[in-house]
Amino acid sequence: MDRWWSDGSETGSRLWQGIVAIAATGCLLGLAQNALVRHGDPKSGLAWRYTPPKLDSLDDVVAARSDAQPGGSTPLPPDMNDPLQIGGSATSGVPDIPDVGRPIQIQISKVKAFFDAKAATIVDAREPAEYAEGHIPGAINMPYDQVVTDPERLEEFDPQGKPIIVYCGGGTCELSMSLGFSLVNAGKKKVLVYMGGWPEWSTSGFAVAKGATPEGA
Amino acid sequence: MSRLPAFLLHPTARRAAQIVAGLIFLASALGKIADLSAFSSSIHNFHLEPFIPMAATNVLAMTIPWVELVAGLALLAGVRPRAAAFVYTALLAVFTIGVIAAMARGLSFDCGCFGKAGAGPVGAKKLAENLVMMAVGVVAAVERR
């Protein structure tokens, strides 16, 4: 004990004791803290089981808002069978997008409506090579990994007040989901994620563009 | 351990390494504890499902920062610093394997290593950072004679 602060001489079982004690204390404190937080307010803290993030669909968001404010700004859809009319304005066929501070999931029919009306900025979150092979005409290529290394790209991106539709290669589409959250965090409004993505769009017979530019080569 | 250069075996070097390692873990623990849900989605981004069930992600998010906190405080206070340095180095080794695995699979995302504030993308730079921090841990873990 030549120095008051340190006893770094532990070896063998005493060393293991220390390692186990530190790990166990940490784990117990963490579990206890989370349990306490959840005991106080079940909505805060973390759930014991992890569930991957899921986006609300536009229909759910619109429905939740019209429930919350009956007779409010969002009229009930006149025809539930026509997705374009849900929460939509009669004139353009393009739905109004509420600003909810998180990305919203959107289906292909509404993507097409926005596309036809040129009422949204479409963003392709895939790699440039995939983008060049084919993309939705007018879509801007913004690969998610480039955004991670160069956040300036988000700052420079100006959707000009239009809703932003992000898509990628379909499936669970982590790229567009992550990019959607990054866009919201960067202060962008009305961020929509088109989960069907390129596989669905390209097999639906809608217009496509090839090449490295938005309108295609 | 004895192959380290002599100046790294000096008690002062070891104590300094322990304090640096302690500060690193304290910062990283507090950054994560401040926003556990952000940390849990960072863990999700590593896509460790082949090794660790996805449902366990939150349990990792709850416990890892607190183990870091306890190890960090032990390193700073000099209480069982050698054991704490082993915990520090082992945890960093696990993180580094995660980073390498993510890079090998071409994943690119914010690692959430220091919580939201000190975030950086997973990549070569992060890997180098981790290796330097692990080296600090090795110096801190040298047995006092």
pLDDT score recorded for residue B73: 94
Instruction: Give residue A90's pLDDT.
Output: 42
Residue predicted with more confidence, A92 or A9: A9
**pLDDT tens track for A46-75:** 888 887 767 777 777 777 776 665 544 444
* Distance in Å, alpha carbon of A68 to nearest chain B alpha carbon: 27
Delineate the domains of chain A, giving CATH numbers in brackets.
11-49 (no CATH), 58-202 (3.40.250.10)
CB pair distance less than 8 Å for A18 and B18: no
Residue B15 lies in a domain: yes
Would you call B84 and A18 a contact, using CB atoms and an 8 Å cutoff?
yes
Domain ranges, residue B133: 6-138
Per-residue model confidence as pLDDT tens digits over B109-123: 777 778 765 566 778
Chain B contact present for A127, CB below 8 A: no
Contacts of B93 in chain A (CB under 8 A): none
- How close does chain A come to B123, measured CA to CA in Å? 9
Does residue B95 form part of some domain? Answer: yes
Q: How many domains does chain B have?
A: 1
B52 vs A contacts (CB less than 8 Å): none
pLDDT digit string, tens, across residues B49-80: 778 887 888 899 999 999 999 999 999 988 88
**Residues B132-137: contacts with CB within 8 Å, 24+ apart?**
B133/B21, B133/B24, B133/B92, B134/B89, B134/B92, B134/B93, B134/B96, B136/B17, B136/B20, B136/B21, B136/B24, B137/B17, B137/B21, B137/B85, B137/B88, B137/B89, B137/B92
How many whole angstroms separate alpha carbon A177 and alpha carbon A165? 11
Contact criterion met (CB below 8 Å) for B141 and B89: yes
Reported as a single tens digit per residue, the pLDDT across A131-146 is 999 999 999 998 887 7
Tell me if A18 and B64 make a contact (CB, 8 A cut-off): no
Q: Would you call A178 an interface residue with chain B, using a CB distance cutoff of 8 Å?
A: yes
Query: Is B106's pLDDT higher than 70?
Result: no
- pLDDT tens-place string over residues B74-86: 999 888 889 999 9
ipTM of the complex: 0.86
Average pLDDT, chain B: 85
- Of A39-43, A199-203, B90-94, B135-139, give the lowest mean pLDDT range: A39-43
What CA–CA distance (Å, rounded) separates B2 from B48? 36
How far apart CA B88 and CA B20 sit, in angstroms, is 11
Segment B96-108 shows an average pLDDT of 81
Q: Over 90: is that where the pLDDT of A28 sits?
A: yes
A139 token code pair:
């879509």
Kindly state whether residue B108 falls inside one of the protein's structural domains: yes
Residue A209 reports pLDDT greater than 50: yes
Mean pLDDT of A152-173: 81
